[in-house]
Amino acid sequence: MKRVFFFVGKGGVGKTALSTSLAYYLSRQKRSVYFASIDPAHNICDIIGCPPFLGEREIEHGLFVEEVDVESYLRRFLRKIIEEIKSTYSYLKIINLDRMFEVIKNAPGMEESAIMHGLNDIIDRHRDMDYIIIDTPPTGLMLKIFNLPFITGTWLEGLRDLRYRILDRRAAISAIKGKEYFAKNVAIDKKKDKVLKEIMAQKALVDSLIKTFKEKSIFILVVNPDRLSLMEGIRIKNALSNINIHIKLILMNKSGLLPLSLDIKEFSHIPIKKIPFLENLSKEKIYQLADDWAKDILTHPQRHVNYFMEGWPSGLRRRS
């Protein structure tokens, strides 16, 4: 896997159309591409003109598309949690935990956690692809998903340290009162503790995602030239910067449809490219959308200088 591309931005700015354009561009460069939407409101099929389908499908040679079933990942995620609780804490005789399914499903953060696990799963399953392209949900849910591995990692470190202390105290008590002091399934040895094993497995998962974000990913911000879109783009850039994730390219979509409504100094150090407004998006037009910028972002994925400076709209150039 060479790169993972994440298209981020406000809802309705054209993330799906532009991520689709990159997917077609790369596949026609004889690269293997996995292109997925993790937005619960899917519309890849609306863009490429195919009937909706479940699962993954090769729509052109080397181009695999999937509108990820977030609800399915949520169900599997919840069932896994319930089964692990049953297995790990069987000695506590938890009864009728299945009745808690709907309650847990609606708990805060469950959808984001399910999407995070789903994102890790689809990246892991497609590491043999040359490129992975992810069309993300609108800002609110998207930022929660990208923040979650960092927050979860810190939380898991605390749980790990707490579990170490619990096991150390159990070992001390066992040395004094004997192993029979504890119930048969109560772990004393760190190597045999199911809870610690699960904590470490979850920590490995979030660490893997964080590494992918920081070392393998290119984040592309899509904006329109209207005030709401641009202001939200600034918030996205700043929120991602807070977790040391940086936007590598800004695509100013629907350029020319509206006059630029804001002078954005905050974007002055980020490459930006104008994308013309097109009413009818045929496959060929979608492919051509990426023609003007895809080559550069592939050739210089880590470059921060304004190599698209000629594409900056009037009013966006940095002021002295």
What one-character-per-residue DSSP string does 62-93 give? Answer: TEEEEE--HHHHHHHHHHHHHHHHHHHTGGGT
pTM attached to this predicted model: 0.82
Half-sphere exposure of residue 55: CA atoms within 13 angstroms, side-chain side: 2
3-state helix, strand, coil in the chain (%, to 5): 55, 15, 30
Q: Is it the case that residue 260 has pLDDT exceeding 80? A: no
What one-character-per-residue DSSP string does 204-248 give? Answer: HHHHHHHHIIIIIEEEEEEE-SSHHHHHHHHHHHHHHHTTT--EE
Which residues, including other chains, have CB under 8 Å from residue 312's CB and lie 6 or more apart? 272, 274, 306
Widest CA span of the chain, in angstroms? 79
Q: Could you give phi then psi for residue 4, rounded to 5 degrees?
A: -115, 125
Q: CA Rg, the chain, in Å?
A: 23
The domain made up of 3-73+107-311 has a fold known as: Rossmann fold (3.40.50)
Q: Could you give phi then psi for residue 26, rounded to 5 degrees?
A: -65, -40
Question: For the residues 82-109, what does the mean pLDDT come to?
Answer: 61
Give percent of the chain with pLDDT exceeding 70. 82
CA 82/CA 91 separation, integer angstroms: 15
Residue 7, Cβ neighbours under 10 Å: how many? 25
Lowest mean pLDDT among 84-88, 134-138, 250-254, 287-291: 84-88
For the stretch 140-185, pLDDT in tens is 888 988 999 999 999 999 999 999 999 999 999 989 988 788 877 7
